[in-house]
Amino acid sequence: MCKHLVLLEKIVFKYHTEFHSTYIRDFAMRNPKAFNIEHLIEETISIQGGLTHTAKVGFDLTSPDGIRTEVKTSSMQYFDSRTGARRYYCDVANLKSKVGDVRLVIWNEYDEKSPLSFFYIPLEVVREFSHYRASADNRFLKIAWGKGRQKKGNVPFTYNRLEPFRVNTFEELCSL
């Protein structure tokens, strides 16, 4: 299943008020790429969190007390390293002009227990953890998913340095 289908089915259909119709749900499942899923996630967070969807340069949402946040989505990718180790990464791009905290939804098809993960990352942390990519003249986060330094034993996979910013549910992500 692709990111578009998962986000439509697990988030948009469940929480977006305009997607309660069976007709539009059936159409969306047959044509998931016909929808701008990133924009729909922004709208859905806005609806569920009581936020204003602004889509201005640097931020997508504004809370009633003026707090600005950006919404991003990403998909985990699998890479084989030269050493044979399995590596999982995703990028969150276009962070150069951001002026608010980031609400992040990651689809990870490799995580059988929790294929959708949610993070609320303060702007200071985004600036600290992000890297400059000269070819795109922009900043991005490179997010790893793995066992970290404890590679042996039954250690769960984590998002390493982003774990402190993980929230448990989509509802919690919307309410922050």
Report residue 168's pLDDT band, with 50, 70 and 90 as the boundaries.
very high
Residues above pLDDT 70, as percent of the chain: 91
CA atoms of 83 and 25, how far apart (whole Å): 44
Q: What is the DSSP letter of 157?
A: P
Tell me if 72 sits within 8 A of 120, measured CB to CB.
no
Tell me if 126 sits within 8 A of 102, measured CB to CB.
yes
- Cα 86 to its chain centre, rounded Å, is 22
CA atoms of 30 and 69, how far apart (whole Å): 31
> What pLDDT score was predicted for residue 85?
66
The β-bridge relationship of strands 52-56 and 59-62 is: antiparallel
CA atoms of 29 and 149, how far apart (whole Å): 40
Cβ neighbours, 10 Å, residue 17: 9
In degrees to the nearest 10, what's the CA dihedral of 39, 40, 42, 47?
150
CA atoms of 115 and 106, how far apart (whole Å): 8
Q: Where are the domains of the chain?
A: 51-175
The per-residue pLDDT for range 84-114, each reduced to its tens digit, is 666 888 999 989 888 999 999 999 999 888 8
> What pLDDT score was predicted for residue 84?
64
The beta-carbon contacts of 24-29 under 8 Å, at least 24 apart in sequence, are 29/5
Q: Residue 22 carries which side chain, given as an amino acid letter?
A: T
Q: What is the DSSP letter of 163?
A: G
> What pLDDT score was predicted for residue 1?
67
